[in-house]
């Protein structure tokens, strides 16, 4: 059976729950809810394992904090023997306007420390990623405060309105692969 590891990047703890940096966690939660599954606390994260359309799915919310996500991703890739092409990492992106979705099969970390750590620990930047634009509306030097701050009401409404798109992107990746998913959802 084909195995997939879908990783949402975010920070653990109530204080980070509704922050911009926790986009990956939020999107993963939407998909989990759609599949009517639940997480269990496991080594290096919250994990849900289930079958979806004949595929074995592992959802992972690393407990290592954003900047150290690589250790958790590597552990679960190896433990579950998941091919790196079946890894999808979901993260926020400061370089994209709010609400912009970008799906890629590889690429740079774009200044995202979580993606940087994953690339360093896996020793490759060739793995699929799904980035959600959070915009870059902050003063120079206050990037950290911006990504760790809460959404405003308009952002929350727009984000919630995209829930079905997020779910469809993950389903498409699992059933049709990265190339079809990029062609269908980018732009």
Task: Give start and end residues of each alpha helix (H) in the chain.
Answer: 23-34, 69-80, 113-122, 143-147, 153-161, 163-176, 178-185
Question: What is the DSSP annotation of 2-49?
Answer: -EEEEEE----SGGGTTBGGGHHHHHHHHHHHHTT---EEETTEEEEE
> What is the C-alpha separation between 82 and 154, in angstroms, rounded?
38
Side-by-side strand order, sheet with 129-133:
40-42, 45-52, 55-62, 3-8, 87-93, 129-133, 101-104
Total length of the chain: 187
> Is residue 21 annotated as a catalytic residue, yes or no?
yes
User: Could you say which of 5, 10, 19, 21 is catalytic?
Assistant: 21
List, by residue number, the catalytic residues: 21
């Amino acid at each position: 059976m084909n195995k997939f590891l879908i990783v949402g990047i975010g920070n653990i703890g109530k204080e980070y729950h509704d922050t911009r940096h926790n986009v990956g966690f939020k999107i993963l939660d939407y998909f989990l809810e759609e599949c009517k599954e639940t997480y269990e606390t496991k080594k290096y994260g919250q994990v849900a394992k289930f079958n979806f359309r004949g595929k074995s799915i592992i959802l992972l919310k690393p407990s290592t904090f954003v900047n150290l996500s690589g250790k958790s991703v590597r552990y679960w890739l190896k433990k579950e023997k998941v091919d790196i092409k079946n890894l999808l990492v979901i993260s926020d992106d400061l370089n994209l306007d709010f609400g912009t979705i970008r799906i890629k099969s590889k690429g740079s970390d774009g200044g995202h420390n979580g993606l940087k750590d994953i690339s360093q620990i896996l020793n490759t930047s060739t793995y699929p990623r799904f980035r959600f634009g959070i915009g870059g509306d902050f003063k120079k030097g206050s990037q950290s405060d911006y990504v760790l701050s809460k959404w405003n009401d308009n952002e929350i409404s727009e984000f919630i309105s995209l829930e079905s798109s997020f779910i469809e992107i993950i389903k498409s990746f699992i059933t049709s692969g990265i190339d079809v998913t990029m062609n269908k959802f980018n732009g």
